[in-house]
Amino acid sequence: MFKIDHGKLNTIAEELQARKLKLALTESMTGGFMSSVWSLQTEAGDYLMGNLVCFNEAVKVDVLGVPQELIAQFTAESMEVTEAMLVGLKKLFKADVFCAITGLAYQGKEKHPTAEPGDVFLAVSFGSRMLQRKLKFHARNAGDIYIQSFNAGMEMIGELLGLNSDPTTCNRDSCS
């Protein structure tokens, strides 16, 4: 069973608030889970700007401006699409820290052509810096993949903010 890293969550939330930074997210795979966790923090209104859930490809294309050709070439569950989502998010929100996530938490009716359950694509930016990671999580259910994804996203945000980061906690292949 996986748990949200509440210590890191509190530290990053306090840092965002102290520096008067705003956070905006766009979520595909996690369907709003990440922003829900952020919103439960005390004083979340001071730093959480908002979230766009783009579970459906039409939202990625019509709202975020992700080119349909990019989805056709790489699939919606890819780093290329995640980066395009991040670019679109920056046009929608006046924030400082941005986070975009796609991936595959469970197998759908048809086998995905390139991704497997547990493949997660995260892109985070702050100022002129951007981090992107393709991660592979192993879990029995989608909820555990969501939690691991949230922790990985936090780790990346913390890294961009210059907070002490334990590189053994999250790397390009997995987080623990």
Q: Is the pLDDT of residue 169 over 90?
A: no
| Residue 49: strand, helix, or coil | strand
What are phi and psi for residue 100, nearest 5 degrees? -125, 140
Q: Note whether 47 and 17 are within 8 A (CB).
A: yes
CA-derived radius of gyration, the chain: 15
Q: Is the pLDDT of residue 167 over 60?
A: no
Supply the pLDDT for residue 165.
Answer: 53
d(CA 24, CA 86) in angstroms, rounded, equals 10
What sign results for the dihedral spanned by CA atoms 127, 131, 132, 135? negative
Cα 53 to the chain's mean position, in Å?
11
| Residue 70: strand, helix, or coil | helix
Query: Over pLDDT 70: what percentage of the chain?
Result: 93
For 29-53, what is each residue's pLDDT tens digit? 999 999 999 999 989 999 999 999 9
* Higher-pLDDT residue of 60, 106: 60
User: pTM score, two decimals?
Assistant: 0.90
Domains annotated on the chain, with CATH: 6-160 (3.90.950.20)
For 80-128, what is each residue's pLDDT tens digit? 999 999 999 999 999 999 999 999 998 877 777 888 889 999 999 999 9
Q: Closest Cα to residue 2, out of 146, 173, 170, 99?
A: 146
What are phi and psi for residue 98, nearest 5 degrees? -125, 145
Supply the pLDDT for residue 112.
Answer: 77
